[in-house]
Amino acid sequence: MPEIARNLEAEPHRLRVELGARAYDIVIGAGILARAGAEIKALANGRVYIVTDANVADQHLRALRHALEAAGLETGWTIAVPPGEHTKCVAELDWLILALLEHGLERSDLIIAFGGGVVGDLAGLAAAIALRGVDFVQIPTTLLAQVDSSVGGKTAIDTVFGKNTIGAFHQPRLVVIDTDLLATLPERERRAGYAELMKHGLIADEAFFSWLETHGAAVLAGDPDFAPEAVYRSCAIKAKIVAADEREAGERALLNLGHTFAHAFEAELGYSSRLLHGEAVSFGCRMAAAMSARLGFCPPSDVLRLERHLDGLGLARRPRDLDLPPLRPSDILRQIRRDKKTKAGRTTFVLLKGIGRAFLTRGVDDEALAAFLQDELT
């Protein structure tokens, strides 16, 4: 198996999220799940509890347990929560924490969140509040979690008042990203995750976006010669922004590029699986770019460049590229106004001055927004 031998020998990429006393490493590479035990061993003072979901457990749990045992770590207990967004709820959080306590969780133990964004958000929040806070490590298994939700310490569950309405900032002690795990993801989920990865280039790194224009297809395919570098460059952008503004007092809001539109569509569809978050981010980014051009901030040629990239990889550039029910501009506008980024009737938008040059503005007036949505959706 020369391929695997090469992957294990390659030095992983290593990034530091510079947060003072809460600083941590992100370790990225193809095949590095096998090294997870050694990485975690350096942090663990007690037992290690694994929180995962049933799908990830079926595919990858044996490999993780093997890596932990090989490093001599004592595993306390493993729990597989049901897959899917509905798991991010008070009842599951309550059950998870009580189960961890029943199985002897102590403050010096460590929780591993092993899965996609749902597992990371739920296990991270459990780690934030169980025993007033225990350490946790993120081992994300989806592209979306690898480039976005596992980095930055946002943990949360959903309520009837919306997504992520109960949560905490609780930084992981370490993030271990094995890009080989992406091979088992359905194509649709990989595309959805790619939108968040590309988003970081749009926000702050034109050179990275340009690199993706050449290598995006290889990244999407999980090619070990390109996927680790793409995840590394994407995480580096996010890590820098998080280090500058951990609690989203300002700059971190740039990471919401495309999300005001994305969340409005997701909310209007009741967060149904007909529209994955990353799919909404894909066309949400294009809408943000198109609105930026319409308001005179961004050259139209950059919008075309983004559209070419999305088209080339089969990502949605408009809601109508997906098989969605008809959506009315007035309903999307209503959802935007309900968004938590709207204050005193003004929504904070992330717009572009060009690819790699995002900025925040509250200066988009309602009439311009309504006219834009009308043109986009009809």
The rounded distance, in Å, linking the Cα atoms of 290 and 224 is: 33
Q: CA–CA separation, 139 vs 176, rounded Å?
A: 5
Note whether 75 and 69 are within 8 A (CB). yes
Task: Kindly indicate which of the ranges 56-64, 135-143, 147-155, 280-288 contains the residues binding ligand GLY, using the contact rule CB under 6 A.
Answer: 147-155
Judge whether 252 counts as a catalytic residue: yes
**Contact region for ligand GLY (CB under 6 A) — 10-18, 148-156, 162-170, 213-221?**
148-156
Residues 276-315 that bind ligand GLY (CB under 6 A): none
| Number of residues in contact with ligand GLY under rule CB under 6 A | 5
Q: Would you call 196 a catalytic residue per the annotation?
A: yes
User: Token pair for residue 204?
Assistant: 């702050």
255 makes contact with ligand GLY (CB under 6 A): yes
What's the min distance (Å) between Cβ of 254 and ligand GLY? 9
Select 289 or 350, whichever has its Cβ closest to ligand GLY: 350
Burial class (CB in 10 A: 0-12, 13-18, 19+), 82: exposed
| Minimal distance, residue 366 CB to ligand GLY, in Å | 26
343 catalytic? Reply is: no
Q: Is 132 labeled as catalytic in the residue annotation?
A: yes
Any catalytic annotation for residue 305? no
Closer residue to ligand GLY in complex, CB, 127/255: 255
Taking the complex as a whole, the smallest distance from the CB of residue 136 to ligand GLY amounts, in Å, to 16
Among residue numbers 152 through 211, which ones bind ligand GLY (CB under 6 A)? 152, 154
Q: Is 122 in the site for ligand GLY (CB under 6 A)?
A: no
Whether 277 is catalytic is: yes
Catalytic residue selected from 173, 238, 286, 309 = 238
DSSP assigned state of 222: T
The CA distance from 164 to 88, in Å, is 8
> Which of 47, 252, 263, 277: binder of ligand GLY (CB under 6 A)?
252
Strands 135-140 and 174-178: parallel
Taking the C-alpha atoms of residue 25 and residue 6, their distance in angstroms, rounded to an integer, is 23
* Beta-strand relationship, 349-354 and 357-361: antiparallel
Q: Which amino acid is at 280?
A: A
Eight-state DSSP code of residue 116: S
The angle formed by the CA atoms of residues 98, 24 and 276, to the nearest 5 degrees, is 65
CA–CA distance, 113 with 44 (Å, rounded to integer):
14
Contact between 148 and ligand GLY by CB under 6 A: the answer reads: yes
**Options 173, 252, 286, 317, the catalytic residue:** 252
Residue 360 CB, nearest approach to ligand GLY (Å): 13
259 is catalytic: yes
In the block, tokens 């294009």 appear at 286
H or E element: which one contains 231? helix 227-244
Q: How far is the CB of 155 from ligand GLY (least distance, A)?
A: 10
Q: For tokens 């194509």, what's the residue?
A: 187
User: By the criterion CB under 6 A, which residues form the site for ligand GLY?
Assistant: 148, 152, 154, 252, 255
Catalytic center residues = 132, 154, 196, 238, 248, 252, 256, 259, 263, 277
